[in-house]
Amino acid sequence: MKESLDCCGLECPAPVLRVRDALTQSGISEIVIRVDNEAARQNVCRFLEHQNYRAQVVIQDGVFVITGSNEGVVDAGMPINAEPVVVSPDTAIRKIMVLVTSAHMGRGDDALGDMLMFNFLKTLKEMGPELWRLVFVNSGVNFAAGDSEAVPILQELASSGVQISACGACLAYFHLLDLLQVGEVTNMLEIVSGMKRADSVVTV
Partner 1 sequence: MTIEPIYLTRTVKGGGCAAKIPPGVLDKALCGLDLTVDDNLLVGLEHADDAGVYRVSSELALVQTVDFFPPMVDDPYSFGQIAAANALSDVYAMGGIPKTAMNIVAFPSKTLDLSVLRSILEGGLDKMREAGVVLMGGHTVEDPELKYGLSVTGYIHPDRIKTKRNLKAGDRLILTKRLGTGIVSTAIKAGLASPHVCATVTQEMATLNRVSAAVMGRFDVHACTDITGFGFLGHLAEMVVGSGAGVNISSTSIPLFSEALDWASMGLIPAAAYTNKSFRGDRVDFAEGVSGSMQDLLFDPQTSGGLLIAVSAADAEQMIIELVEAGVTSAAIVGEVITSPVDRIVVLL
* Residues engaged in binding partner 1 (CB under 8 A): 11-13, 16-17, 37-40, 42-47, 50, 86-90, 115, 119, 122-123, 126, 128-129, 160
Q: Which is nearer to partner 1, 100 or 145 (CB)?
A: 100
Instruction: Indicate the SS3 state at residue 75.
Output: coil
Minimum distance of partner 1 from residue 38's CB (angstroms): 6
CA distances from 34 to 19, 42, 140, 197 (A): 11, 12, 60, 49
Minimum distance of partner 1 from residue 204's CB (angstroms): 16
Pairing of strands 200-203, 96-100: parallel
Minimum distance of partner 1 from residue 64's CB (angstroms): 13
In order, the DSSP letters of 136-169 are E-GGGGGGGBTT-TTHHHHHHHHHTT-EEEEEHH
- Minimal CA–CA distance to 200: which of 137, 127, 139? 127
Q: Which is nearer to partner 1, 42 or 138 (CB)?
A: 42
The verdict on whether omega for the bond into residue 13 sits within 30 degrees of 0, i.e. cis, is yes
Minimum distance of partner 1 from residue 44's CB (angstroms): 6
Q: Which is nearer to partner 1, 118 or 171 (CB)?
A: 118
User: CA–CA separation, 30 vs 24, rounded Å?
Assistant: 13
Minimum distance of partner 1 from residue 89's CB (angstroms): 5
Q: Which is nearer to partner 1, 37 or 138 (CB)?
A: 37
The β-bridge partners of 34 are 6, 65
Instruction: Indicate the SS3 state at residue 10.
Output: coil
Q: Which is nearer to partner 1, 55 or 141 (CB)?
A: 55
The identity of residue 42, as a single letter, is: Q
